Chain A
Amino acid sequence: METKKEEKKSKIKQTSSFWVWVTASVIFRLILIYFPKNLNFSSRPEVATPVTSIRRLAEGYWLKQSSMSPYAGSMYHGSPLLLSLIGPLTVKRIEGQPNHLLCSLLFLLADVVSAMLIRATGQTLQMSSCLSLKSLDLVELSKNSEMLSSGDIAALVYLWNPFTIVACVGLSTSPIENLVVILSLYGACTRLPPLAAFGWVMGTHLSLYPGVLIIPLILLLGNGPDAPPRKLFLQRRCSKGGKNPSSDSSCQEEELFNQSKLPITFSWKPVIHFLFWASIWSVYVLVLCGISVKQNGGMLEMFKSTYGFILTVEDLSPNIGVLWYFFAEVFEFFRNFFLIVFHMNILVMILPLAIRLNHRPCFLAFAYIAISSMLKSYPSVGDSALYLGLLGWFVFELADLQFSFFLFWGCVGVSLLSPVMHNLWIWRGTGNANFYYATAMAFACFQIVLVVESVSAILNYDRKLRKLSITKPVDGKS
Chain B
Amino acid sequence: MAILLSRRSNLLAVVVLVLCQLFLYAAVSSSGSVLKQGGGEEFSEELLLKPFPDRKVLAHFHFQSRAPHSSSHGRHHHLFPKAIAQLVKKFRVKEMELSFTQGRWRYEQWGGFDPLSSNNAKPPGVELWAVFDVPQSLVDVYWRNLTHTLSGLFCASINFLESSTTYSAPELTFKPSFGNLRYGTLPREAVCTENLTPWLKLLPCRDKAGLSALMDRPSIYRGFYHSQRLRLTSSESGSDEVDSGIGLEQTLTVVLQPSSWRTGKTYSVETNIQPSWSISSIFGRNIPGKCVIAKSSNVYLHLDNGLVGELKNLERENAKYVANTFESEGFQSNHAFKISVTPDKVFEEVDYLHGKSTSVIYGFSVEKYSDSQPFDLGLTWKIPVVWSCQQAPLHASRFLMGSGNERGAIAISLESTESSEGLPTSHIIDGRCELRVDIFQVVPWYIKVYFHTLQVFVDKQPRAMADVVDKIRVSPSKDKVSPGVMEMILKLPCGSKSAAFSLEFDKGFLHIDEYPPDANQGFDIPSALISFPSFNARMNFSEDEFLNNSPILSKFQETSPVLSYTEVLLIPLTTPDFSMPYNVITITCTVFALYFGSLLNVLRRRVDEEERILRSRAGRKAGWISQLLSRLSAKLRGRPQEQPTSSLPYSFISFRLVLKILLVASIAVTWQYYFG
Measured CB to CB, the residues of A under 8 A from B are 43, 45, 55, 58-59, 61-63, 66, 68, 72-75, 314-318, 322, 324-332, 341-342, 345, 348-349, 352-353, 356, 374-375, 425-427, 429, 432-434, 437, 441, 444-445, 448-449, 451-452, 455-456, 459-460, 463
Q: Are A427 and B591 in contact (CB under 8 A)?
A: no
Take A427-B403, A432-B577, A452-B599 as given contacts and tell me if A58 and B452 are in contact as well, using a CB distance cutoff of 8 Å. Answer: yes
Which of B480, B484, B592 is in CB contact (< 8 Å) with A73? B484
Which of B403, B450, B585, B603 is in CB contact (< 8 Å) with A455? B603
Take A73-B484, A429-B405 as given contacts and tell me if A331 and B587 are in contact as well, using a CB distance cutoff of 8 Å. Answer: no
Determine the residue in chain A with the shortest Cβ distance to B585. A330
Q: Are A427 and B603 in contact (CB under 8 A)?
A: no
CB distance from B106 to the nearest CB of A (A): 32
Q: Give the CA-CA distance A74 to B450 in the complex, in Å.
A: 11
CB distance from B561 to the nearest CB of A (A): 26
Asked if B595 is at the interface (CB within 8 A of a chain A CB), the reply is yes
A contact residues around B508 at 8 Å (CB) = 315-317
- The binding surface of chain B is classed by DSSP as mixed
Q: Are B479 and A314 in contact (CB under 8 A)?
A: yes
Q: Give the CA-CA distance A59 to B505 in the complex, in Å.
A: 11
Asked if B406 is at the interface (CB within 8 A of a chain A CB), the reply is yes
Q: Give the CA-CA distance A299 to B362 in the complex, in Å.
A: 67
Asked if B511 is at the interface (CB within 8 A of a chain A CB), the reply is yes
Q: Are A59 and B599 in contact (CB under 8 A)?
A: no
Q: Give the CA-CA distance A314 to B511 in the complex, in Å.
A: 10
Residue-wise interface mask of B (462-480) relative to A, using a CB-CB cutoff of 8 A (1 in contact, 0 not): 0000000000101111111
A-B contact pairs, 5 of them (CB 8 A): A73-B478, A322-B588, A328-B576, A345-B595, A459-B605
B contact residues around A62 at 8 Å (CB) = 451-452
Determine the residue in chain B with the shortest Cβ distance to A90. B452
Q: Are B608 and A463 in contact (CB under 8 A)?
A: yes
CB distance from B472 to the nearest CB of A (A): 8
Which of B476, B577, B587, B599 is in CB contact (< 8 Å) with A441? B587
Q: Which chain B residues in 398-417 approach chain A with CB under 8 Å?
A: 403-407
Q: Give the CA-CA distance A341 to B477 in the complex, in Å.
A: 30
A contact residues around B237 at 8 Å (CB) = none
Q: Give the CA-CA distance A316 to B475 in the complex, in Å.
A: 22
Q: Give the CA-CA distance A437 to B587 in the complex, in Å.
A: 11
Q: Give the CA-CA distance A62 to B452 in the complex, in Å.
A: 6
Take A316-B509, A427-B406, A452-B602 as given contacts and tell me if A326 and B452 are in contact as well, using a CB distance cutoff of 8 Å. Answer: no
Q: Are A75 and B511 in contact (CB under 8 A)?
A: no
A contact residues around B445 at 8 Å (CB) = 74
Measured CB to CB, the residues of B under 8 A from A are 403-407, 445, 448, 450-452, 472, 474-481, 484, 506, 508-513, 574-577, 580-581, 584-585, 587-588, 591-592, 594-596, 598-600, 602-605, 607-608
Q: Are B584 and A55 in contact (CB under 8 A)?
A: no
CB distance from B598 to the nearest CB of A (A): 5
Q: Are B602 and A459 in contact (CB under 8 A)?
A: yes
Q: Are B598 and A452 in contact (CB under 8 A)?
A: yes
CB distance from A88 to the nearest CB of B (A): 13
Q: Are A322 and B405 in contact (CB under 8 A)?
A: no
Additional 10 contacts, C-beta under 8 A, given A317-B509, A375-B595, A448-B598: A73-B477, A315-B509, A322-B591, A324-B509, A345-B592, A349-B600, A426-B574, A427-B404, A434-B577, A456-B602
Q: Give the CA-CA distance A451 to B479 in the complex, in Å.
A: 35
Q: Are A329 and B512 in contact (CB under 8 A)?
A: yes
B contact residues around A432 at 8 Å (CB) = 577
Q: Are B406 and A74 in contact (CB under 8 A)?
A: no
Q: Are A316 and B577 in contact (CB under 8 A)?
A: no
Take A66-B474, A427-B403, A455-B602 as given contacts and tell me if A326 and B450 are in contact as well, using a CB distance cutoff of 8 Å. Answer: no
Q: Are A448 and B603 in contact (CB under 8 A)?
A: no
Take A75-B476, A448-B594 as given contacts and tell me if A43 and B407 are in contact as well, using a CB distance cutoff of 8 Å. Answer: yes
CB distance from A371 to the nearest CB of B (A): 8
Q: Are B576 and A329 in contact (CB under 8 A)?
A: yes
Determine the residue in chain B with the shortest Cβ distance to A448. B595
B contact residues around A356 at 8 Å (CB) = 603
A contact residues around B451 at 8 Å (CB) = 59, 62-63
Q: Give the CA-CA distance A452 to B598 in the complex, in Å.
A: 7
CB distance from A296 to the nearest CB of B (A): 13
Which of B403, B474, B574 is in CB contact (< 8 Å) with A425? B574
Q: Are A325 and B584 in contact (CB under 8 A)?
A: yes
CB distance from A476 to the nearest CB of B (A): 22
Q: Are A353 and B576 in contact (CB under 8 A)?
A: no
B contact residues around A441 at 8 Å (CB) = 587-588, 591
Take A427-B404, A445-B591, A448-B595 as given contacts and tell me if A329 and B479 are in contact as well, using a CB distance cutoff of 8 Å. Answer: no
CB distance from A260 to the nearest CB of B (A): 33
Q: Give the CA-CA distance A353 to B595 in the complex, in Å.
A: 13
Which of B511, B584, B592, B605 is in CB contact (< 8 Å) with A316? B511
Q: Give the CA-CA distance A448 to B596 in the complex, in Å.
A: 9
CB distance from B30 to the nearest CB of A (A): 57
Determine the residue in chain A with the shortest Cβ distance to B479. A74
Q: Are B477 and A328 in contact (CB under 8 A)?
A: no
Which of B403, B450, B575, B607 is in CB contact (< 8 Å) with A55? B450
Q: Are B603 and A352 in contact (CB under 8 A)?
A: yes
CB distance from B87 to the nearest CB of A (A): 34
Q: Are A73 and B476 in contact (CB under 8 A)?
A: yes
Q: Are A326 and B607 in contact (CB under 8 A)?
A: no
Take A426-B406, A452-B602 as given contacts and tell me if A74 and B477 are in contact as well, using a CB distance cutoff of 8 Å. Answer: yes
Take A73-B476, A433-B576 as given contacts and tell me if A328 and B403 are in contact as well, using a CB distance cutoff of 8 Å. Answer: no
Q: Give the CA-CA distance A73 to B446 in the complex, in Å.
A: 12
B contact residues around A68 at 8 Å (CB) = 474, 476
Q: Are A448 and B591 in contact (CB under 8 A)?
A: yes
Determine the residue in chain A with the shortest Cβ distance to B598. A452
B contact residues around A73 at 8 Å (CB) = 448, 475-478, 484
Take A59-B452, A63-B476, A328-B510 as given contacts and tell me if A437 and B584 are in contact as well, using a CB distance cutoff of 8 Å. Answer: yes
Q: Give the CA-CA distance A15 to B81 in the complex, in Å.
A: 91
Q: Give the CA-CA distance A225 to B153 in the complex, in Å.
A: 75
Q: Give the CA-CA distance A396 to B581 in the complex, in Å.
A: 44
Q: Are A353 and B584 in contact (CB under 8 A)?
A: no
B contact residues around A316 at 8 Å (CB) = 508-511
